[in-house]
Amino acid sequence: MIRCSVPLLFVAALACHSAGAPPAVLPKTNPVSTDAPLPTVALTSEWSTGISFVRRDSIILSLGNGQRTVEKRERSAQFAVKLTAGMISIRLETLAFTPAVPIPGNTIGTTWNGRVDANGRISQLRSSHDDAMTLEVERMIAQMLPHLPRAGATIGSSWKDTTSGKVHIDVYQTDEWKYSTWSVGTPAKVNALQLTPVTVRESFEQLGKGSVADRSTTMSAQGGGGGTWYLTAIGRVDHAELSDSAAKLVTISGTRDPIATMEYTRTTIRYSALP
């Protein structure tokens, strides 16, 4: 190895300059970034799927004598859903309740049509007919897709969302205010599929009016919960798990003391290819 001291290099450069040779110009180099752009998380715009819901409720009712009773309910439903070019069409295939609840004959087969944007928000939804049962089913439809931000989402991003509107809950026409915080988690393999979790944590307030045994009632509730939708690499939902809890007060006209309940709900959603 040849070693050159700084003075020798200086003398050599000076000799070259005095001989008329131009000094060497080193090429400019730009630092190379090793940070790859994060993949975008988005929902597909073209999709036909079957969607099945199973919702389980535990309701704790506080009685006036200090005792409590626990009621358990379950409802399940299956839908055929098609997304194409910003439109969504939905058909209710099955619906069941435990304990059993009478279902009007024209409920099964109800269809809904509306718009769905690239971020999963369904709007302008119109049903083939309206009754208390189909209005209740529309609460499931609202949970079919996660809500991504309008500016788009990437792995690790988070955003907030506030919504308000009218919903049908049991016998109550209800005003609801919902405050949500969303986030995108790290993809992981589940049953050989690479799935990206989109998670929401939310709180809500509800105020409704209805009728029970021909007596007017009011309902107020506060609660919170959350859920996770698992997205495939092509923007379809593989499955979702949701849960929430709510403290409710029901007041019946002509009575002095409100009825207090605590409700816990768990919902499982599965997505499958249509036959």
Three-state DSSP class for 258? coil
How many CA atoms within 13 Å lie on the side-chain side of 32? Answer: 1
Is residue 1 in a domain? no
Is residue 103 in a domain? yes
Is residue 34 in a domain? no
Is residue 67 in a domain? yes
Is residue 8 in a domain? no
Is residue 27 in a domain? no
Rounded to two decimals, the pTM is 0.83
> What is the residue range of 218's domain?
41-272
Is residue 228 in a domain? yes
126: its two tokens: 């119109």
Instruction: Report the percentage of the chain scoring pLDDT > 90.
Output: 67
- Phi/psi of residue 161, nearest 5 degrees: -150, 140
pLDDT average, residue stretch 113-117: 95
- pLDDT for residue 37: 58
236: its two tokens: 């379809």
Point out the least confidently predicted range of 91-100, 146-155, 171-180, 225-234: 146-155
Task: From residue 116, give the alpha-carbon distance in Å to each of 22, 78, 123, 269.
Answer: 67, 20, 6, 19
- Phi/psi of residue 10, nearest 5 degrees: -65, -45
Question: Residue type for 90, please?
Answer: I
**CATH number reported for the structural domain that contains residue 233 in this entry:** 2.30.230
Is residue 202 in a domain? yes
Total domain count, the chain: 1
